[in-house]
Amino acid sequence: MSKQLTKAEEQLMQVLWNLEEASVKEIIEELPLPKPAYNTVSTIIRILETKKFVDHKAKGRGHIYFPLVKKTAYSNQSLHKLMDGYFGGSFNNMVSFFMKKNDVNINELESILKQINDKKTEK
C-alpha cells in the first residue's frame, strides 16, 4: 500500500474504519453538514475500491462496503511519508519539530517516553 488518499477519500475511510462496514447511505449519515450528494460518495467509494482500500459485498439490491486497509497501517504509512518528506526521514527531527512548535511540557514528554519504553519491554 503506497497510495495516498485525497482529503475526501480519507474522510470516507475514517467513517468506514469507525463503522467497520456500511452502505453509502450509512456513510453519508456519519458525515458532517452539509451532507455530500449520494452520487458523490458513491463515486469516491468506487475510487477507493479501485485503489484497493475498500471492497464490498452484496446486500439486497445494494452494497455494503468495508475497509481492506487497516487504519493503523495507513496511519503508519502516512507518518513515514510525512517524516521522509519534511524531516529527512529522521524521527528525531520530526519529534523535535513538534515539541518546539507545540510547546510540549516536561510531563507530556515523560508520558511519551514511558509509552515508548513500555512498547520496548513488550517485545
- Total count of domains within the chain: 2
pLDDT string in tens for the chain (123-residue length):
557 889 999 999 999 999 999 999 999 999 999 999 999 999 999 999 999 999 999 999 999 999 999 999 898 888 888 888 888 988 888 888 877 877 777 788 788 778 877 877 776
Kind and range of the H or E run holding 54? strand 54-59
Q: What pLDDT, on the 0 to 100 scale, is given for residue 2?
A: 57
Based on the domain organization, do 106 and 80 belong to the same domain? no
Q: Which residues of 76-115 are buried (b: 16+ CB within 10 A; e: fewer)?
A: eeeeeeebeeebeeeeeebeeeeeeeeeeeeeeeeeeeee
Based on the domain organization, do 57 and 67 belong to the same domain? yes
Q: What pLDDT, on the 0 to 100 scale, is given for residue 123?
A: 61
Based on the domain organization, do 78 and 119 belong to the same domain? no
Based on the domain organization, do 95 and 78 belong to the same domain? no
Based on the domain organization, do 100 and 84 belong to the same domain? no
Bridge partner residues of 54 (DSSP): 67
Query: What is the domain range of residue 101?
Result: 91-123
Cis check for the bond before 34: say yes or no (omega within 30 of 0). Answer: yes
Based on the domain organization, do 60 and 1 belong to the same domain? yes
Based on the domain organization, do 117 and 85 belong to the same domain? no
* Distance between start and end Cα atoms, the chain: 25
Q: What pLDDT, on the 0 to 100 scale, is given for residue 15?
A: 97
Burial level of 47, CB count in 10 A (0-12/13-18/19+)? middle
Q: Are 89 and 83 in contact (CB under 8 A)?
A: yes
Based on the domain organization, do 68 and 97 belong to the same domain? no
Based on the domain organization, do 66 and 20 belong to the same domain? yes
**Count of CB atoms situated within 10 Å of the CB of 40:** 13
Based on the domain organization, do 65 and 112 belong to the same domain? no
